[in-house]
Amino acid sequence: MLLRPPRFPRLSPRRLRSESPMASTLALLRPSAPSPATTLRAPFRSRVSTRVSVGSAVAAGADTLFADYKPTTAFLFPGQGAQAVGMGKEALNVRAAAELFDKANDILGYDLLNLCIDGPKEKLNSTVISQPAIYVTSLAAVEVLRAREDGQSVINSVDVTCGLSLGEYTALAFAGAFSFEDGLKLVKLRGEAMQDASDAANSAMASVIGLDSEKVQQLCDAANEDVDEKERVQIANFLCPGNYAVSGGVKGIEAVEAKAKSFKARMTVRLAVAGAFHTSFMQPAVSRLESALAATEIRSPRIPVISNVDAQPHSDPDTIKKILAQQVTSPVQWETTVTTLLGKGLEKSYELGPGKVIAGIIKRINKGASIENIGA
C-alpha cells in the first residue's frame, strides 16, 4: 500500500459511501495563432469549470465558428488504455487537482483517487472505472501544469484541443463546453453503457501491426467473406501508420488473425477489451448516451475541439451532442486529426493525463513533432 501525505482539507463535509458493484474486470487497449477572437467567446482564466460552462453561446445551427482555425499549441487527452496503477499521485500536491478527485468521489460514490493510486490493476482496468479515472486524472493534470511557474502561460497559449475516444470528453470539458461535473456524469454513463453493450454480444478487437490502412481494409474484406454478417469486422481505430485496430464479432476477428500473415502483416495483437468498441456492436449504448446528452447543458467550446468522428471542430451544441452519441459506433479518425493539425501549422503539443500513448502515436506519424507529457 502506498504511503501518501494527507489530502488537503475538504471545503465541506463529505458523507462516506460504499463503492457500487462493478462489471467483470478487463485489461484495456495500450497502443504501441489562436482562433480569431469574437465577442461570443469568453476568455479562459479560471480553473476547469465545476459549476458554469465558460464556453460561448452561439445561435442554433451555427457550426462554422472554427472553420478556419489555425492551430499553434494543442492539449491532447488520452483515452481508455492509458490508465495505470499509481496515476493521480501528483494531484495530492496540488490543491485544485486534489479537489477534482473529491468532487468525483461524490458523483461516483467511491474513492476514485484511492483506486488510481493503489489499484488493484484489474479493477482500474475495467471499462466502468477506467473511463472516469482517466477523465478526472487528465483534468487534474491541467491543474498540475497550472501550478508550474510557466503553467498559466502555457494554458493561455492553447488554441486547439482533442482527445482519443474518451479523451474527447476531457477536451470538451477543458474547452468549457460543459462543466467538470456534467462531463464526469456523461463519462460514467458512457462506460456503463459500453460495458453493457459488450456483455450483450460476443465481440472482440485486435490491432493489426505493420500494414497501411488500405491493406488492413483489404484484410477485413477478406475476413468478412468467411463469416456471417453479424460477425463482420471493420477498422475501429485509425491510430497511426502501421497500427490500426479492428473490431467485430469474435469469429470475424479470428479470421483476421488467420489471414494477417498472408497480407504481410507483422503481427496481430488481440486486445483485452470488453468488446467491439467504435462499431455497430455498441449501438445499444447510443440511446442511453442520447438521453443523457439531451439533458446536459452543452455550450460552444471557447477553442476548437476536434471530433473523433470526422476530424473536424464543431461549435454548435446540438451538433456536438449528435457527434458524441455517434462516436461510440464510429471509427476513431485519430491519424487524420493529427496529420491535419500538423499540416495546419501546429507547433507544440502537450499530452495531459496518464501514460504516453498519444506521444508515441504522434511520433509514429511525425518523428519531428514536439510534444510534452504532463501527468498527475
At residue 269, φ and ψ (nearest 5 deg) are -130, 115
Q: What is the dihedral of CA 358, 296, 105, 78, to 10 degrees?
A: 0
Neighbours of 67 (CB within 10 A): 10
Contacts of 23 (CB under 8 A, 6+ apart): 126, 127, 128, 195, 199, 274
- Measured between alpha carbons, how far is 322 from 184 in angstroms, rounded to an integer? 18
Active site residue 32: no
Residue type, 360: G
Asked whether the beta carbons of 66 and 14 are under 8 A apart, the reply is: no
Active site residue 278: yes
Please list the residues that pair with 75 across neighbouring strands: 161, 350
Task: Give per-residue burial for 32-44: e unless 16+ CB within 10 Å, then b.
Answer: eeebeeeeebeeb
**In terms of Cα–Cα distance, which of 56, 49, 63 is closest to 321?**
63
- Measured between alpha carbons, how far is 330 from 137 in angstroms, rounded to an integer? 25
Question: Catalytic residue among 165, 179, 198, 247, which?
Answer: 165
Helices (H), 147-240: 151-157, 167-174, 180-199, 213-224
Question: Catalytic residue among 126, 138, 278, 314, which?
Answer: 278
At residue 315, φ and ψ (nearest 5 deg) are -115, -20
Asked whether the beta carbons of 131 and 187 are under 8 A apart, the reply is: yes
User: How many CA atoms lie within 13 Å of 93's alpha carbon, on the beta-carbon side?
Assistant: 12
Distances (CA, A) of 294 to 23, 46, 143, 285: 26, 26, 29, 14
Phi and psi based region of residue 299 (left: phi greater than 0; alpha: psi -120 to 50; beta: remaining): beta
Residues annotated as part of the active site: 165, 278
